[in-house]
Structure 1
Amino acid sequence: MAKSNAILVPTNVKPLRYQLELEPDLQQLSFKGRESVSIEILEPTTTVTMNSVEIDVQSCALTANGRSIPAQKISYDEEQETVTFDFGVSLAEGAASLEIVFTGELNDKLRGFYRSQYEDVDGNDQWMASTQFESTDARRAFPCWDEPALKAAFELTLVIPSELTAVSNMPIISETNTGESEGNGIKTIVFAESPVMSTYLLAFIIGDLSYIEQTGDNGTLMRVFTTRGREEQGRFALDVSL
């Protein structure tokens, strides 16, 4: 049997649920993020290691038994694609949560959380941001346990310009205007919590999008999204999906 060269994160911690908030900036081609990850510590440890690539972590704190412990040291391993948080004290077995604040770039590699440029119906260049996490590129969007076996539930929140649209795996449960950024309206979109699943199954897209829809004979509502003004180009896809 061939020897595997896979690099796996330590098994002393297991993720249970991610509450992830991302705020992409389609002008600066970057994003800000924060996450609260419910975890189970399976054995005493002083460190927590997660997968992360080209993510700049500003802060990390672990909360357990009502006590918040900030990371004393944050170290990156580019070869192993990990970030390690050293808390300087022994963390006991049991339930805990990680609060992480970070930033990243909307890359042009068609991997992770990336940018795409297109020409709108008026001939102007526009940007959209979308994801491709399979097989191990969720780590380019947020620190996580990016292995198929380490499944968890995801609650995604996106903070985007009010004129744009966001789509993800799960339905929207709330959409709120939350202020202005550089004179433009901002809205916060919260998606329903997902089933327990692997990180590579999480997906979302942000852009100037529109859709056509139709309900099938079985009562299922189908939608096909396109860039605004090109809705009819999705007609064939909608027809064959019904």
Structure 2
Amino acid sequence: MNTNASVHPTAFVEPGARLGDGVVVGAFVYIGAEVEVGDGTVFGPHCVVHGPTTIGRNNRFYAQCAIGGDPQDKKFAGERTALQIGDDNVFREFVTVNRGTGNGGGVTRIGNGNWLLAYTHVAHDCQVGNGCVFSNNSTLAGHVVVEDQVIMSGFSGIHQFCRIGAHAFIGMGALVNGDVPPFVMVAQDGYGRPRGINSEGLKRRGFDADRISAIKRAYRTLYVSGAPLDEARAKLEDMAADSPDVRALLDFIGNGDRPLLR
């Protein structure tokens, strides 16, 4: 353990854990033997971190986070699996993040600059990108892929093996059981359904009017025109020649284990 880390007298850090410079370990925290923590990361009181887990720099874990625990999967038989967390993430109170499973890739990953608010859950083998916001009580089932800059509103949930494309917005309470393409906004109606594109979020991230217009045309082709999926994809192929954003949306379609949400 690095002597430059600050460890509260009531905390317990197992021999073999590696703490970077400036790490702060609060009261009653437990850190397991196979945990590696990057410089400047802070653990609030009563956090529990099991390994194998690698945590990057300047992360902030608030009270009662449970990180790196065994996957909640009946098939898990104690095989060696891992959790990898990047830099500059915020984990608010009671966030839970599980390690992977042996038959599901073995690793759960969370990228950089994400905000996981109170009571959010990231299950085994999930892959989360960068700059996402998971609002209170939002939940990922196992094997979910969440690309960059996704916003999940409170009490939303994603079915196992679904993919959520970059810049998508999942509305409050929406339950998603299919793949959500990039830029699309989903709102609750029983199970969540597409309800346009995340125009406001795109504007905030510097998308100009031409880019947003191209994405809107692609959305109308896919969701409003009434065309069968194969016909819509053919039309999107033509549109993608002039728009990298439409190309990203088209590349996303049809590459997952779950059906496209339509």
Task: Give the structure with the larger strand fraction.
Answer: 1
Q: Give the structure with the higher percent helix.
A: 2
After TM superposition, is the score higher than 0.5? no
Tell me: higher relative CO, structure 1 or 2? Use CA pairs within 8 A at least 6 residues apart. 1
Q: Normalising by structure 2, report the TM-score.
A: 0.23
Could you tell me the TM-score, scaled by structure 1's length?
Answer: 0.24
